[in-house]
Amino acid sequence: MSNIIIPPGWRIPEREATPEHIFANRRRFLRTMGLGAIALGTIGCRAGDDHRAPAAAAAALPNPNLDLYPARRNSQYTVDRPLTDESIAAHYNNFYEFSETKERVSELVGGFQTRPWDLEITGLVNKPLKLTVDELVRKLPLEERVYRFRCVEAWAMTVPWTGIPLKKVLELAEPQSSAKYVRFTSFLRPDQAPNQKSATWYKWPYYEGMRIDEATNELAMMVTGIYGHELPKQHGAPLRIIVPWKYGYKGPKSIVRIELTEEQPPTFWNDLAPSEYSFLSNVDPTVPHPRWSQASERLLGNNERVTTLPFNGYGEYVASMYR
């Protein structure tokens, strides 16, 4: 009797997925024409608008890594939803350093300088290191993965991220056995990020953390690209963290330092509102936010309301860590 294979719930049927060769060829054409980072970033710009399209501003800087994008897609990681349109994802961003209005973030990042950019890995490691993002992407191979992304505000999107497994990045510094947690710190540049200057009630710079078993889980990624090109600034350029089974704020943007610690580190939103934002912050449809339900989510693009899955649909990868 032949084997019956029951696919996991997160896998997208082949008939609904865009064939990889078509997606890659389209991106390669845009890159060849010099439009890879800006083709969709300029949609919606108004005549006379004082703000440069954020992706166009990034493309104006010297970029030594054009040959790395698009990276090869890892077909092991895919989902049961179509990709969110890039122009929608590029203009709906939580990035409080620039604005608390999602639709304004992409208009305010033009003056943010993302190259050169240093990353430091320190704390309980045998080989503390400091290197630029451009050095990092040459040291470790990039890959593309399609992940669900779930915001604590009950909206969601599906995104092709490009990056490196976070575990491989941490291994460069050789974590010590006493390291139990990983702390991330984002940038502090109030002269370039207007809300860091005006919103003084927040404890800038942004800081996050997770257990080391979470950081070294195969799903956790250090991300440098999206939709087949480098991260635009509003997505957290040049370096952000993605942990797809957690709410989006657990993935800090534009990080400059990683520190391995023995004690649980404080985190930005848990310090501000501990009753609303836990340290773990795993996606859990059975645990409502104090002000709204988490049982369902709104998909960006079509506004369809769908049922939220435990761990955002990644339970087979991560549930065992929380038993």
In a domain, 3, yes or no: no
pTM confidence score: 0.82
In a domain, 232, yes or no: yes
Q: Is the pLDDT of residue 262 over 90?
A: yes
3-state secondary structure the chain: CCCCCCCCCCCCCHHHCCCHHHHHHHHHHHHHCCCCCCCCCCCCCCCCCCCCCHHHHHHCCCCCCHHHCCCCECCCCCCCCCCCCHHHHCCCCCECCCECCHHHHHHHCCCCCCCCCEEEEEECECCCEEEEHHHHHHHCCCEEEEEEEECCCCEEEEEEEEEEEHHHHHHCCCECCCCCEEEEEECCCCCCCHHHHHCCCCCCCCEEEEEHHHHCCCCCEEEEEECCEECCHHHCCCCEEECCCECHHHCCCCEEEEEEECCCCCCHHHHHCCCCCCCCCECCCCCCECCECCCEEEECCCCCEEECCHHHHCHHHHHHHHC
* Range(s) of the domain holding residue 49: 14-322
As a whole number, mean pLDDT of residues 218-224 equals 98
pLDDT given for residue 71 in this prediction:
98
As a whole number, mean pLDDT of residues 194-217 equals 98
Range name among 16-20, 99-103, 212-216, 268-272 with the lowest pLDDT average: 16-20
In a domain, 8, yes or no: no
CATH number of domain containing 315:
3.90.420.10
In a domain, 55, yes or no: yes
As a whole number, mean pLDDT of residues 144-160 equals 98
Number of domains in the chain: 1
As a whole number, mean pLDDT of residues 286-308 equals 97
Q: Is the pLDDT of residue 2 over 80?
A: no
pLDDT given for residue 21 in this prediction:
41
Q: Is the pLDDT of residue 190 over 60?
A: yes
In a domain, 4, yes or no: no
Confidence of residue 61 (pLDDT cuts 50, 70, 90): low
As a whole number, mean pLDDT of residues 80-87 equals 96
Which range in 17-21, 74-78, 153-157 is most confidently predicted, on average pLDDT? 153-157
pLDDT given for residue 185 in this prediction:
98
pLDDT given for residue 62 in this prediction:
79
In a domain, 47, yes or no: yes
pLDDT given for residue 60 in this prediction:
54
In a domain, 2, yes or no: no
As a whole number, mean pLDDT of residues 313-322 equals 98
Q: What is the mean pLDDT of the chain?
A: 86
Percent of the chain with pLDDT over 70: 81
In a domain, 183, yes or no: yes
pLDDT given for residue 11 in this prediction:
46
